[in-house]
Amino acid sequence: MTNKEKIAALAETYTDTVIQFYRDKRNSGITPTNSEILAACSLPTNLGNVENEAALIIFTVTQLVDADMNTAPKAENTVKSSDEWQRRRARLAEIETKATEARRQARIKELRADNEAQARQKAADLKMAEHLEQSRQRQAVAAERAKLDVQLAAQQKLRMQSFPIPRG
């Protein structure tokens, strides 16, 4: 299940529960806190980690219910109220979709930046390895040259001893 599907499923099931709970509490004269709402309206466990989305739903529902209770006349047109809630639920889903898309885009940018940084680091590591290899080769050549110089000097010394120069 993708994040978008999880959020849609959460919005469908959880929003109604939160609306009903919050409205009942507000009608009885109590304004519950977000933690009380979370405790009373348990999150679906089959959707994984959706606490951030649930907090957004709770915030939106509390704002909408409070606005509805402050502006709407009591028990008049229930059909209009139902349509209004449908519209508000659609708006909530739209907000959640945009938030999810924004988080997804931010994550993509973050991953691209990480990939670019890793590519730069890998290029620097390869360049350093190449430099170290060249340095090692130069040292090996210098050591070989020194060894040959020592052998040549030993051969010349041996020749000098084999063929003494007459003094005369």
Would residue 148 count as lying in a domain? no
Would residue 156 count as lying in a domain? no
Considering its fold, how many domains does the chain have in total? 1
Q: In terms of C-beta density within 10 A (0-12 exposed, 13-18 middle, 19 or more buried), how is residue 137 classed?
A: exposed
Would residue 154 count as lying in a domain? no
Would residue 144 count as lying in a domain? no
Would residue 140 count as lying in a domain? no
Per-residue pLDDT of the chain (168 residues; tens, 9 = 90+): 677 777 777 777 777 888 888 888 888 888 888 888 888 877 766 666 777 777 778 888 888 888 877 765 555 555 566 788 888 888 888 888 888 888 889 899 999 999 999 999 999 999 999 999 999 999 999 999 999 999 999 998 888 777 766 675
Q: What is the DSSP string of 97-146?
A: HHHHHHHHHHHHHHHHHHHHHHHHHHHHHHHHHHHHHHHHHHHHHHHHHH
Give residue 4's pLDDT: 75
Give residue 91's pLDDT: 86
Give residue 47's pLDDT: 62
Give residue 74's pLDDT: 52
Helix 78-162 and helix 3-27, axial crossing angle in degrees, nearest 10: 140
* Cα 116 to the center of its chain, rounded Å: 15
Give residue 108's pLDDT: 92
Helix 3-27 and helix 51-71, axial crossing angle in degrees, nearest 10: 40
Tokens 């003094």 correspond to: 167
Q: Can you give the residue range of the structural domain that contains 66?
A: 3-119
Give residue 127's pLDDT: 95
Give residue 165's pLDDT: 67
